[in-house]
Amino acid sequence: MNAADGRTGWIDVLAPGALSCVQDLGRDGWRHLGVGRGGALDPRCAILANALVGNRADAAVLELALHGPSLRLHAPARLALLGAACELRLDGRSLPAARPLELPAGTLTIGGMRGGVRAWLAVAGGFAVEPVLGSRATDLRGGFGGLAGRALRAGDRLPLGPHRAPVADAARAGRWWIDPDFGLDPHAPIRYRPTRAAGLAEIAARFGDSGWRVDPASNRQGLRLNGDALETGAAAASGVSEPVAPGTIQLPADGRPIVLLADAQTVGGYPRLGHVIAADLPRLAQARPNAKLYFRACDDAEARQAQRLAEAGLARLRWAIADRVGAG
C-alpha cells in the first residue's frame, strides 16, 4: 500500500522501559465475572494523545511508567506523547511532546519521567493487538489482554491499525501544543467522598486530617499510603467481601490505607473509608514514590460539579485539537 492508503505496519521494541504496556479505555460489562475495567490510569491523557494523531478516543496506546522504551519505526509514523515530562528523541535528535509529530523511520527513545510517573504514547492507527473481552487493555494482574497479558519485552513487535502514513524524510513537530493540566493546582488535596457506615465514618473523616506518603510498592492495582496508622479497632475485623472499584479507599488491618486504581479487583474484604472522586482520580497516576499527598472530604454536589468541569475541559481540548489537526 502507498502512503495515501489505509496502511498497516508494526513497531519493534528494542528496549522495553521500566513498565510499558498496551492500554485503552478499559473493558466494561464483565464485573459480574470478576473482571475489572482496567485501562489507562489517566484516560484523559490517553484520549487526548489519540486526538493529537487523529485516532478514535478508544484506540490502544502505550502506557509508560518511570522510564520509557526504545522503539524501532520501520516506516514514517504520526505519533504523540502526553503525560509526565520526559526526554523524547529520534535517532538522537530531541523532539517536543504534547503535540503531533510526523517522523521518518528511525529509532525512537523515551527517557525517564520527571515531575510525574507515567506518559501515554499514541500512534496513528493505534496498536492493533488482538482484543480480549472487547478491549485491548493489558490486565497485568489477570495476565490477559494487550500483548500476551504482560508488559513489553525487548524483541516484541507491536502491530499498527490502518492509517494514513505521513510522507516524512525528516521529523516535523506541530507549532502548537496542549497542556491538559492548564489552570489546575497540582498541589490541591485529592477529594474523596467519605463513607457514612457506622463505625467507619469517624475513621474516614480522620483519613484527610494529615498527609500521606506514596509507598514505592504501589502499582496499577492500588496506591499504598504510608504515614501515621489509623486506629481501626473492631472496624477492620469484619472481613466481609464487598464491591470495590477504582477510587475505593480500603483500610487494611495495619491502618495504612490503599486507594484502588484501574486494575482494582471487583470485591474486597477490607473496610472501605470512601471513594476518591472521579475528577481527581487521574492525578494519582502521576504520584511518585514517597511523594506527599493530602486528601480532603467533599460532598456529592462538589463531586458532581468537579466531574462536570473535568468533562467540559476535556471536550474543549478535543474540539480544539480536532480543529487544529483538521487544518493541517
Residue 239 is part of a domain; what is its CATH number? 2.40.100.10
Question: 199 and 179, same structural domain?
Answer: no
Q: Is the separation of the CB atoms in 38 and 27 below 8 Å?
A: yes
Query: Stretch 114-135: mean pLDDT, rounded?
Result: 96
End residue of a domain, out of 183, 208, 239: 183
> Residue 23: what are its φ and ψ, rounded to 5°?
-140, 155
Question: 213 and 179, same structural domain?
Answer: no
Query: Stretch 29-37: mean pLDDT, rounded?
Result: 92
Question: 178 and 205, same structural domain?
Answer: no
Domain that holds residue 128: 7-183
Question: 212 and 168, same structural domain?
Answer: no
Question: 164 and 104, same structural domain?
Answer: yes
> Could you tell me the CA-to-CA distances from 315 to 42, 61, 248, 310, 319 in Å, in that order?
15, 20, 26, 9, 6
Question: 136 and 208, same structural domain?
Answer: no
Query: Which pLDDT band holds residue 237 (cuts at 50, 70, 90)?
Result: low
Question: 194 and 178, same structural domain?
Answer: no
Question: 169 and 269, same structural domain?
Answer: no
Question: 170 and 92, same structural domain?
Answer: yes
Q: What are the pLDDT digits (tens) for 256-267?
A: 999 999 999 999
Total-model pTM: 0.94
Instruction: Report the percentage of the chain scoring pLDDT > 70.
Output: 95
Tally the domains of the chain: 2
Query: Which pLDDT band holds residue 283 (cuts at 50, 70, 90)?
Result: very high
Give yes or no for residue 172 having a pLDDT over 70.
yes
Q: What is residue 32's three-state secondary structure?
A: helix
Which of left, alpha, beta for 53 (phi over 0: left; psi -120 to 50: alpha)? alpha
End residue of a domain, out of 183, 210, 244: 183
Is 316 inside a domain boundary? Answer: no
Q: Which pLDDT value is given to residue 328? A: 55
Query: Stretch 50-63: mean pLDDT, rounded?
Result: 97
Is 235 inside a domain boundary? Answer: yes
Cell numbers for 179, please give them: 497542556
Is 317 inside a domain boundary? Answer: no
Is 199 inside a domain boundary? Answer: yes
Q: Which pLDDT value is given to residue 1? A: 39
End residue of a domain, out of 183, 204, 225: 183
Is 135 inside a domain boundary? Answer: yes
Question: 254 and 131, same structural domain?
Answer: no
Cell numbers for 23, please give them: 492500554
Count Cβ neighbours within 10 Å for each residue of 34-66 and write b for 16 or more, e otherwise: ebbbbbbbbbbbbbbbbbbbbbeebbbbbbbbb
Is 67 inside a domain boundary? Answer: yes
Is 101 inside a domain boundary? Answer: yes
Is 321 inside a domain boundary? Answer: no
Query: Stretch 65-91: mean pLDDT, rounded?
Result: 97
Q: Which pLDDT value is given to residue 250? A: 96
Q: What are the pLDDT digits (tens) for 92-107?
A: 999 999 999 999 999 9
